[in-house]
Chain A
Amino acid sequence: MKVLTIAGVTLRRMVRDPLSLFFVFVFPLLLVLVIGATFGEGFQPRIGIVEGNGPTADALAARLRTLDGFTPRTVGSASEAADGVSRGAYEAAIVIPDDGGSMLAVQVVVRQGSSARQIRTVIEGAVAAEAAVLRAADVLVAEGLRPNLREALETVDQVEQLVPGFSVVERSVDDSPNDRPIGTFDLGAAQQLVLFTFLTSLSGGAALIQARQWGVSRRMLATPTSARTVIAGEALGRFGVAIVQALTIATGSSLLFGVYWGPLLPATMIIALFAAVSAGASMLLGSLVDNDQQAGSLGVFLGLAAAALGGAMVPPEIFSPTMRNISHLLPHAWALDAFTEIVRRGGGVDDILIELGMLSLFAVVILVAAATAFRKTLTTS
């Protein structure tokens, strides 16, 4: 019961602090909202189209406007398009030159990054497909089979319906044919969850330092309460904060944005184990650092660094093999692997045993180290 009493105070103090409340509950959900609104289901990249002059350029522009999966925007000039892309007004821009010569060299303007690469690939494919249609229509006009480009295009469209076509389905070597279709939204939310659960926990280490500075922790030891109980209570309190935050992100994003977190049991196990790791990290930082302000800054730095290395800030898919190995020195990577398995491949507990085992190992090692360090702070001086 005393363990619960001490843990309860940690939770109560967190709830009393408006700043903590914002960073624990509101901010992660806001980020999920932003990421969801940007990349989630129903998201259509905005494409700026700079139209050239001439029938072919007009026809290509008209057809690009009808492409599925994009929201077209007319842009006045190539420089305006580049500016819009760099400012984020459009995810990409297509600059169609004026007719002339045998080749219509269409320019695709994108930013660097994995999503830009995907968008560029899709646009290039679409432009190539439309260019093929236009060339076929041009041939029909040139051969005198159709009087003008408009009728020629109608004919080509009709023929296209009758002739079997080709489609390309991309599959990574890591993917299974049974993979659930998934938007960036889903895994983006998992990344936010591990990032913020760990980051907030580390920042929360400052509260432990405050309790030490105020002498409250030592005072607890003067009551008939063992050091083990105090440590367990403090750890449980931090675990409580971490798991409440993680569950809020999971539940909130699921209810608000339809994020799929996989089957309940394995998802809960991942969240619980990662919360335990985060609680241990919080206690460890709170025990090793003597200044609460330093701990706050250090917590943010370490939290962001761990998230970046662990694949919670940038997609782990873009990591080199070496970096992927390094990322697995951090619990984030194991948690994200586990989420990928249950979310994308419909895996269950059996399929993520290794990931759960590694998270358990991280939790035990960090909690034991934290308990040892915290005990030392309590029982010396």
Chain B
Amino acid sequence: MDPSAPPLLNCSRIRKTYGDLVAVDDVSFHISPGETYGLLGPNGAGKTTVISMIAGILDADSGKVWVAGEPMHPRATKAKTAVGYVPQDIALYPDLTACENLMFFGRLVGLAGSTLKKRTKEVLRLTGLSDRADDRTSTFSGGMKRRLNIGIGLIHQPRLLILDEPTVGVDPQSRNAILESVDTMADEGMAVLYTTHYMEEAERLCDRIGIIDDGKIVAEGTQRELIEKLGGHDKLHIGITGYGLPAANAAAMLDCVIRVSLGDTAMELIVRDARSSLAEIVNTIVETGAEITGIEIEEPNLEAVFLHLTGKALRD
């Protein structure tokens, strides 16, 4: 990811209402090339409406969406060419084969002739469906359908890939394959907008996360930034024998340590970034003559942040 590159997706104060219901209210965010942005929110938060406006399915009542520098709206052609949209539903024709589905959507995004055939083969290989290319998708397992659903979004090698909960109902093996594919695509420079109900997916994949609730982005940043915004700090449990009090005092003097509590056989430290400061803390304790018998890091997670911000669990 190149932070200096101009954003591939830029949403500026987009708003969408249905009658009196404000589905999306003043939402702004951007995604850079190679960046994976997670949009998290409980059901009915407005994620799908935001995605529909970014994909050019819906027009925003106000605000603007730009994709690859082009304005996005339902009649936009250039902007849509840059987008690969993978909806939450498995949007395939079950009575067509995998190959026919890919070629159908390939034609709609402007591919034709040998390019279309070549890309169809490539996507079938990428999704591991080459040997089922000529089978109707109604005969596919849920995981295979999900993979093809994603493959269709990739048929024209888009610069922005929108994945709306792509792993719902997928077996662990397929799910892992999908996550690895997303990682690979982001590494290759594709911008990815990812929504999910699975917090561990967001934590694993997303460079930045926007939390949306009641149509508004209520927090945005990297996982660590979000946690820190809430005052969340890591907790370090260190088992010790020997000189506990000098060790605790020495640790308390470190900048990264916020608070220390000492027990009979262990001390508990509240620290800013346990992983990066662990070596410094361990060295300091050892230098006082104490012997470390065990270390356990407890990091505040995104789930806690989400719960704090929205008052709901992610799967609500």
Contact = CB atoms under 8 A, between A and B. Distances in A.
Q: Are A and B part of the same complex? A: yes
Interface of A: 1-2, 5-6, 9, 12-13, 16-17, 211, 214-216, 218-227, 378-380
Interface string B154-167: 00000000000000
Nearest to A12: B96
Given A211-B93, A223-B85, A224-B80, 10 more contacts: A5-B104, A12-B100, A13-B95, A214-B92, A215-B91, A220-B105, A223-B80, A224-B108, A379-B58, A379-B74
Given A5-B107, A226-B74, A221 B91 contact: no
Given A17-B95, A214-B92, A218-B87, A226 B105 contact: no
Interface in B58-117: 58-59, 74-78, 80-81, 83, 85, 87-96, 100, 104-105, 107-110
Interface residues of B, number: 35
A219 B91 contact: yes
Contact of A225 (B94, B95, B108): B108
A378 B93 CA distance: 17
B55 interface: yes
Contacts of B74: 221, 226-227, 379
B7 interface: no
A218 B80 contact: no
B91 A214 contact: yes
A221 B57 contact: yes
A83 to B, nearest CB: 49
A222 B92 contact: no
Nearest to A14: B95
A9 B96 contact: yes
B87 A9 contact: no
Contact of B108 (A2, A214, A218, A379): A2
A16 B95 contact: yes
A214 B58 contact: no
B56 interface: yes
Nearest to B23: A381
Interface string B99-143: 010001101111000000000000000000000000010000000
Contacts of A5: 104, 107-108
A214 B57 contact: no
Interface in B225-249: none
23 contacts: A5-B104, A5-B107, A9-B93, A16-B95, A17-B95, A215-B87, A215-B88, A215-B89, A215-B90, A215-B91, A216-B93, A218-B87, A218-B91, A219-B87, A219-B105, A220-B108, A221-B55, A222-B55, A223-B105, A224-B80, A224-B81, A225-B108, A379-B57
A153 B58 CA distance: 90
Interface of B: 18, 52, 55-59, 74-78, 80-81, 83, 85, 87-96, 100, 104-105, 107-110, 136, 152
**Smallest CB-CB A-B distances: 9 pairs:** A215-B91, A222-B85, A215-B89, A223-B108, A222-B55, A224-B80, A219-B91, A224-B77, A5-B107
A378 B52 CA distance: 11
| Interface-centre pick from A6, A211, A214, A219 (highest chain B CB count, 10 A) | A219
B215 to A, nearest CB: 15
B88 to A, nearest CB: 8
A330 to B, nearest CB: 32
A13 B137 CA distance: 13
Contacts of A2: 107-108
A222 B95 contact: no
Nearest to A8: B104
Nearest to B85: A222
A308 to B, nearest CB: 32
| Interface-centre pick from A2, A5, A222, A379 (highest chain B CB count, 10 A) | A222
Contacts of A224: 76-78, 80-81, 108-110
A221 B56 contact: yes
Contacts of B92: 214, 216
Contacts of B94: 214
Nearest to A1: B107
Nearest to A13: B95
| Interface-centre pick from A6, A16, A223 (highest chain B CB count, 10 A) | A223
A21 to B, nearest CB: 12
A9 B105 contact: no
Contacts of A226: 74-75
B91 A216 contact: yes
A260 B182 CA distance: 63
Nearest to A229: B108
Given A9-B96, A13-B96, A214 B89 contact: yes
Contacts of A12: 96, 100
Contacts of A13: 93, 95-96
Nearest to A228: B75
Contacts of A16: 95-96, 136
A86 B253 CA distance: 108
Contacts of A211: 93
A225 B74 CA distance: 9
A215 B52 CA distance: 12
B193 to A, nearest CB: 13
Contacts of A221: 55-57, 74
A379 B76 CA distance: 14
Contacts of A227: 74
B85 A214 contact: no
| Interface-centre pick from B55, B93, B152 (highest chain A CB count, 10 A) | B93
Contacts of A379: 57-59, 74
| Interface-centre pick from B55, B95, B96 (highest chain A CB count, 10 A) | B95
A219 B108 CA distance: 10
B89 A222 contact: no
A214 B56 contact: no
Contact of B57 (A17, A216, A222): A222
Contacts of B56: 221-222
A3 to B, nearest CB: 11
A222 B56 CA distance: 6
